[in-house]
Structures are given as C-alpha cells and as structure tokens.
Structure 1
C-alpha cells in the first residue's frame, strides 16, 4: 500500500492557535470507564477532543478543517507499551533473518547480503530462530564461515538474547577455548571445548564491544525510517524499552523541534544511563521517567531463569543477568531516584526475584512494571497485584513461542505462561505491546494474537490455551488505556474523551464486528496525532 508521509518538521507547527477540526461520517469507537462508546463524528480544538456525537452533529460548527471519514472505523491511537524504536530503524538497513525456516536458507541470505554490501566492515543483523528450522539445532561459527570468512559476522537471535558469530568475529573478540563466560552469560562450546559461535546474554558483550558504533547520520536515518513505519501502522505512541544517553539526546532534539510524529515514553538503559541523567524529562511528545533493567534472558535461547530445570534440558535452569543482590540494588537505585523501574523478566525465577525486590523497595503508586511477565508461578500472581506491579506483556510472543514453549516448560508450568486472562482476573493492570523488532510492530497483529491465540493460518483451530484469551474490548484496552496508565498518562491519552489528546486512527474494517481472523489483516488509512495527520494512505488521500 503506497502512502503519504507528512513532513515531520512541519506536522505540528502548522496548527493555528485556534484550530478546529471536525471528523465526520465515521464508525467511531472509544473505551471509557463505562465500556465501549460509539460515535459518528469527532470535534477537536487545539489538538484536544471537544466532543463526540452522531454523524452530522457538528455540521454547524465553524471548523478550520473537515475530514470525511467515508464511513470508515475510527479508533483511539494505539500505543505499543514495549518496543525498540532504533532497533526497528536499524532492521531496515541491517540483515533481516526473520521468518527464515532453515539454516540453509539463512546462510543463502547471509551470503547474498554480504555480496550486496562489500563496503560493510561488519555483517550484522538479527532475526534468526532455530526453532523454525527442521532440526531445531543452534547454528555454528563454522556454518557462517562457509559463506563469509573474510569479514566478521554478528547476528542476534530473534529474541535478542543470543548471538551467532563467525570465526573472525570470535577471534577479534578474543574468544577461544580458554575464555570464561562472564557472569550472566554463556559461551556455546563444541564437543572439543572450542567456542562454537553462539553467545547467550551477557556473553554477547564480548563481541559487541568490538563492533563500530553507529554514526550520527545512521542514527538519524534509522529514527526517521522507524517513525514513518510505526505511524503507518496506526501507532501514536511507543514505550521505548532501553534508550541510551546518545539516543535520548537525539529524541530530545527532535522533541524540541516538534518533529516527533508519535509519542515516545523512553525507558533509560539501565542505571548506567540513569547516572548520566539529572532528572526525568517531561517534554511534549517525549517523556523519560523510567528505567529498563534486566533480570534474565529469553525462553527460546534457554536463558530465562526458571525455578526448576528446563523440561527439555535437565540440570539447566537458565541465567540471571546479575546476581540477586546486584539486581535488587539496581532496582532500589532506580526507585530511590524517583524513576519508574521496568524490569525484563521471562522465567518464573526471574519474575519472582523482581517481584520480591519491587515489593521490598517500591510502593504501588509508583506503578513499577515487569516487562514480559512471561512465565509466572501460580502463587505469585496475587503478590504481583499487591505490589502494584503493572504487567507489560506482548501477545504475539505467545503465538511465536507456542511451537517451543511447552517443550521448555512442560505441561504444568505452561499454565502460568503468557497468562493474560490470569493477569486480568488477578486485578493486575495490563499494558499491551509487541517487543518490535523481535515481533512485528503492527498492533493489529498483537490485538489478533490476544483475542485468538492463533497464528495467521488460524492454528491451533481452537486457539493455544484459549482460556487465556482476551475479549476484543480487553485487548484494545491493553493497547490504549492500559498503555496510558503504565506511563502515568491516562488523564491525557488512551481514549477519545473530552479534554484528551486527539490521537486517533482510521482503519479499513470494523475491529469489533469483523470475523476474528480478519483482525490481523486490518489496514490503517490515516493516523492523527493531536488532530494532525502524520500518515495518510494514498487510497485515502484521493
């Protein structure tokens, strides 16, 4: 679908001091405390909602601008509560191995990319997932050497918690048979004890410390690409899960220029970035008042920290990124500084250690978050609620992981995994996201996964553990009001109620009425931020 992307630098500056917009002839929905509210027209002034009404209700208003919705469905702007903006931008320039279904196919793509980019000093990319390959075995450095041996290669796994290096990259990093893995990391080994090219969690830093940093121009290009793509998908906000100091400075510059076409709620990258920031940043389209920490790794690479052995690897319980005492100290440091703490936790042990630390040092009104909350022991849900922890979860992780999750966890623990219904029934606030670029940034894919718990071919036929599915209203809440609450923004964002920001999207089908299997196929026709268009599909611009 071709589209019109509006000038980012002018998108907001062109609004007059008394600008009035009327969007008429729409099939409008918004959520309120009382449930779903339907409307046919929307009135906006100075970027804020004035009122909703029946179609034609504002025909007598002296509006500066009028938009004919042509009967299309209008929804509140969607917010992804856990994504990686710069990662999304870099993915469009780096090697993308997402969806590759065999090692041979992956190697062919790597070879083609290397031949097409002779100027690249390093071949870097991400997205491979051995669980999609016939033998489900991790690849090796020797595999990579067959296609690229003259330049270092570094490819992150789809979850970002393991990397695949060729022999030259291992050599440059000084990794050999005698290299010890750092705390919270793992170096894969051959039968002879040599490094096999797979590095997990903290061990990845050994290679990544040798990769040249991105230039300022590369950063700017990646940001522009990501923002344009996210706006085209109907996102008006993103909670950016891990922003380093230089990226924060770039975001602040753009915010000061009124050149951010969506709202970024930035999580600073661990205490190292926090220590360089004097205070929270509360800008127009940028807020930085939270910090992203890590408890453990990921399930696919068996780095998630479990209370008991992995069902498919006896004697192995995953990895904690930091020793428990250090993790607790990091959480305490963030809370003591007055920032919200948002901790990545996948395994039931990782989640329990975070829960205990937040319960000890935090207060419910601080709205501290667990990012992913993927595998939780049944007895911990009520304690999570008592601690005021927000569950920031990503529905497409369930449909991507369902081919291996039960292998890792077994038939009992799986009932506490990807457990959105259990979370809501326990009274835990839920915010929805995707973890892009690990998953697609398309929020309608996430909404579909939350409701159907099926892949795009409709499998499994009855859904994967369908008792954990959400209703359409609950799923939309997670990506709107739930995300807003998780960012302390529910008074301003998340619904189209009077006084709130006029962030909305027009889409090609009725989210609440189409068959469930059509939800993921929804196409965005226009995205508006504060009543200003930041994306218009060409078919809708005519």
Structure 2
C-alpha cells in the first residue's frame, strides 16, 4: 500500500509539473514601449510567448504569472517593439541578387556608373558578365551631353568595359542599360528589327542601338546572360533572408515568381532556411505555370512559411521610363501615353480563372489608364462570379497615379491598394515633369484619400527597386518628403498618413492583404511571435529623427534572428 501511495504521489507531481510547464512561457519580453496594433489594447508592458505563439500581452504583473523555471526574460532596455514588419510588395530573389551585384542606387551621375563598372571590369575575367541595378537618370544631379529619348547612351560605358558584357538594370526594373559587348552577344545591331511587343530598343535616328532596353525588350539581353549556378542562386536567397532580418522584416509578399523559384523556396523550407513568411504571387507571364496551379488550387502551408494563393499581373511600365500607361499624354513627351504590357483580353481571362479557382490577383498598375483598365476587369470578374467574390481581396500593386473618378472605386469594389510610400519620396521631385501639376495634385500617391474611402493600404518598398529599409518608407509615408527632408511641409501634405496608419500599413493591413490578419500583424494572444524592435520610438520621436532609427533586433517565429552590433 505504501509503495502504491509513493507511485501515485510521484505520478501526481509529474502530472502537475507537466501541466505547469505547458502553461508557462518560453520567453517574456518587457522593459520597453510595446505597440500591439490591437485597437482594444494598443500599448502593453510585456508580452509572453510559448515557442512561436503569443500567450499573453498586457501588464508586467500579469505577464509574470506565465514565468516558469525555464522562462527566459528579454529586457528591451527602453527600446520599442512592434509586430513584425511585413514587406507588402517586393521581389525576394531580386533583393538577394542586389546584395551580390553592383549597387547603383546611390549613383548621382552617369560618370558614377562608369567609375563603378571600370573598377568591376578590372577585377573581372575577360568575357565575364558584369551585372548591376539601381541607376535612375531622373535622379542624377547632372545629365550627360549625349542623350536619346531621355536616356544616356552606351559609348562611355563600352569604352571602360570592352572585354566584358555589361547589363545594368534601371531602379524601376522597367529598363536596362547594356554595353556594346552585351549587345553584340545578344545579336542587337543597327539593322531594322521587328517591333518588340510591350517594349522598345531605344535607337539613334540612324538605327544604331543606344544601349537602353525598355520594358519587355530587356528579355533580348536577358537571353544572352548565362544561367546562374545553383550555388549562386542559394547565396542570393540566403543574402535576401539576412537583409530582411537586418531590416526587421519577418514576412514578405513576393510579387511574381516562377516555377524554379517555387522549387527553391520549397527546398529552403525543407532545409530549415526559410526564415521569412512568404505570400507568393505566381507570375502571369508563365501561362503553363498558371494552368498547372489552376488545376491544383492554392497552397497553404501549415507552418505559415510559404503560401501560394495569388497571381501577379503586370499591366504597364514605370513612370521613370515613361512606360506607365496614361489616359492623357506625358507632359514632358507630347504624343506619348506609355503602354500596356499585357493584352487586356488576357487580363480578363486571368481574372476570371483566378476567381473560378480561388486565387487572389495583384496587378501592377502605375499609370491612371492602367489602373482604370484593371479596375474595369476586376469589376467584370466580380459581376460574373458574385459567389466567388465575397472575400476576393484583389489588389492593385502600386496604384500610384489615379484619375480622381477612380479613387472611390477601390472601396466600392473592395480592391486593396498595395502602395509603396518610399516611391513618393523618390519619384515626386521629377514625377511632376511627367504628369504636370494638376494630375499630381488630384491623383498621385493618394494615400489619405484612399484610406478615408474605407480601404486599407499595404505598404512596402518594391525592393530591389528601392531599399528594403522600412524606416525610410515609414518616414516617407508620414512626412511626404524626400529622404533629404524636402520640402519643408511635404508634397501634397494633406495626403500624409498618420503614424498609426503607417504602422498599420506595415503590419495588420499588410497581413490583411495576404489573408493573414488572424495569425499575424498585431501582438495578441494566439498569434505568431514575430516582432521588430527599434532603438527609438518611431511613434513619438520628432519627425526629423525617424530616419536616425535603427532596427535593434528581429524576432521571427519566437527566435531572435538578428541583433544589431
């Protein structure tokens, strides 16, 4: 009998210990300012998590009820924590390759590009390709003497790289710049060539190519560039993940991927290297890929790492390259309206099939004509499939320049604008030349008008078009200024976001844009333990100090994945 009592007491003790352990936190975070983005409980003293799930957010006194013998305590030491920031529109592998190639984003003249390529050519083997991205002629402080259709020409570039093919992507991704060697390998000559659908090889009046390849014409050079090795592809992926963590990004809306990229992501997940939550959009340019996915339907990951439930349509070009499709001609190029990069009949077909098969659609549209055409096609789809449109969450990616009559249509159709605050900061100083004052004031970067109409905005950077740095984008969203603080009151200041709106656009509203608001985007019980920690309080510090803010720590899936040195 005595032995039985001992066994029972041990069993009871073990059971209680197990029960106690299961209710205790693995980590309690405290000691700083914590913004939850929960309207009921917007600011708390502490957060308790168990592995990768939030157990509690509230007072420090109550949080200590979750403290067990093995609970770790993380003192923020006065820093500021928010839900993990979500990159609402970017290109993950583009970010990775940008880390490996020439970064031209800080160039302020054509000469800067020449200097960088000259150094790269001296260090490269003969015949080795030199690749880079980030130049933007509209942002240069001085322009070269030789220009055609608003772009530089290749001669000076070719002179410093005679033995190496060079291809340098425009910051927008909608144009590229090749040297003579690259054009030679691609078979581009002065002879008359067939028109490129949805693109243009810019030429001198006598037919010689200038080196600029606009929109779909870029593929002519792209076909000549050797395929990447598996090692370089993986290196680009790992570099992208590291860059996300450095910048406090825990989730990423990957806007347009292909079959090879899907397979890479699946492999990286299996290898335990996928440490950013991906909302992946299938590229509509691959018809075979879409047909394959229509048959099997969206893919939902039980680990919340890789969801494939959206399709990316690319409907026009960029404003910088004058490819954005406008209702009225460009102010600085009479007779030119930009152009569509996909037949509208195909847009309609994709919209219909997406609704039939349970996919979200996100359409790149920058110009007001492109935005109107996409809204029209969405509306047709919603009318044709009313039962499948109850929670469609279709998006327009960028939605930069809208006709005033189309602004209320977003709310009327429940279409989400996925806009990048940083684009206003970078583009607005020269965008007025493209559009003129009236179109800028009535329809460009209309954040507050869209928010007041009743739709959320998904923020982001369109990386690698812009730096993935969310602090710069947050600053642009609330100030409407360039990163140099110009102008004093911001461009069209009535369209500024409040800081609360900007924080939501990077967290809960971005989560909503990927159907994920129930599992992330705010710090609430039951949600995933993804957090971004800043060294300053971005919600209260003076506006001018926002750009001085650094990401101090990133917590992903309950684990610290980055700590600033």
TM-score of the two chains, using structure 1 as the length reference: 0.93
1:148 corresponds to: 161
Alpha-carbon shift at residue 271 of structure 1 (Å) = 5.2
Shift of 1:16: 9.9
Matched residue SS, 2:36: strand
Contact 2:36 2:82 in 1 (8 A): yes
> How far apart are the structure 2 equivalents of 1:238 and 1:197?
33
Following superposition, the deviation at residue 326 of structure 1 comes to 2.6
1:116 lines up with 2:123 in the alignment: yes
Q: More relative contact order in 1 or in 2 (CA 8 Å, sep 6+)?
A: 1
Aligned pair in 2 of structure 1 residues 202, 502: CA closer, same or farther (>3 Å)? Answer: same
Q: Go from structure 1 to structure 2 and tell me whether the alpha carbon gap of 1:215 and 1:120 turns closer, same or farther (over 3 Å shift).
A: farther
Matched with 2:451 is 424
The answer to whether structure 1 residue 198 and structure 2 residue 223 are counterparts is: no
- Once the two structures are superposed, the pairs formed by residues 61-460 of structure 1 within 5 Å of their partners are 61-62=67-68, 63-118=70-125, 121-133=128-140, 134-135=142-143, 137-176=150-189, 177-270=191-284, 272=286, 273-277=289-293, 278-283=296-301, 284=303, 285-362=305-382, 363=389, 365-415=391-441, 416-460=443-487
Q: d(CA) in 2 for partners of 1:237 and 1:120?
A: 38
Matches within 5 A, 1:22-41: 22-34=28-40, 37-41=42-46
Instruction: Check whether the contact 2:102–2:132 (CA below 8 A) recurs between aligned residues.
Output: yes
| Greater Cα shift, 302-311 or 244-253 | 244-253
Q: Give a deviation string over 1:399-427, Cα, whole Å, max 9, x none.
A: 10012101000111112111111111121
Q: Is the 8 A contact 1:163 1:200 kept in 2?
A: yes
Farther off after superposition, 529-538 or 397-406: 529-538
Q: Secondary structure at the match of 1:282?
A: coil
The answer for the alignment partner of 1:536 in structure 2 is 563
Q: Is the 8 A contact 1:242 1:267 kept in 2?
A: yes
Shift of 1:56: 4.4
- Aligned with 1:316: secondary structure? coil
Distance 2:516 2:461 in 1: 19
Aligned with 2:63: secondary structure?
Answer: coil
Q: Counterparts of 1:147 and 1:474 in 2: how far apart (Å)?
A: 48
Contact residue 271 and residue 334 of structure 1 kept, 8 A:
no
TM-fit CA distance, 1:320 = 0.5
Bigger Rg over Cα:
2
Cα distance in 1 for residues equivalent to 2:500 and 2:415:
22
Give 1:457 deviation, angstroms: 2.3
- The Cα shift of 1:151 comes to 2.3
Q: How many residues in Structure 1 have an aligned counterpart in Structure 2?
A: 523
Structure 2 residue matching 1:178: 3-state secondary structure = coil
CA shift for structure 1 position 141: 2.4
Distance (Å, rounded) in 2 between the aligned partners of 1:148 and 1:401: 30
In 2: Cα distance, 1:536 partner to 1:252 partner:
27
Provide Cα deviations, 1:399-458, integer angstroms capped at 9, x if missing partner: 100121010001111121111111111212210110011111011111110001112321
Instruction: Return the alpha-carbon distance in structure 2 between the equivalents of residues 58 and 473 of structure 1.
Output: 25
Report the equivalent of 1:53. Answer: 58
Separation of aligned partners in 1, 2:86 and 2:276: 9
Quote the residue 1:476 is aligned against.
503
Distance 1:17 1:193, change over 3 A: farther
- Helix, strand or coil at the partner of 1:483: helix
Q: Shift of the alpha carbon at 1:265?
A: 1.0
C-alpha contact (below 8 Å) 1:18/1:46 kept by paired residues: no
Whether contact under 8 Å (1:26, 1:55) holds in the other structure is no
Who is 1:11 aligned against? none
Change (3 A) 1:228 1:108: same
Q: Secondary structure at the match of 2:42?
A: strand
Q: Secondary structure at the match of 1:149?
A: coil
Provide Cα deviations, 1:269-318, integer angstroms capped at 9, x if missing partner: 22513234433222221111111110000000000000110000000000
Task: Determine the C-alpha separation between the residues in 2 that align with 1:59 and 1:17.
Answer: 12
Q: CA deviation at 1:192?
A: 1.4
The alignment partner of 2:131 has SS state of strand
The equivalent of 1:12 in structure 2 is: none
| Structure 1 residue 17, shift from structure 2 partner | 11
User: If each structure's helix is expressed as a fraction of its own residues, which one has the higher value?
Assistant: 2
- Alpha-carbon distance between aligned partners in 2 of 1:298 and 1:364, rounded to the nearest angstrom: 32
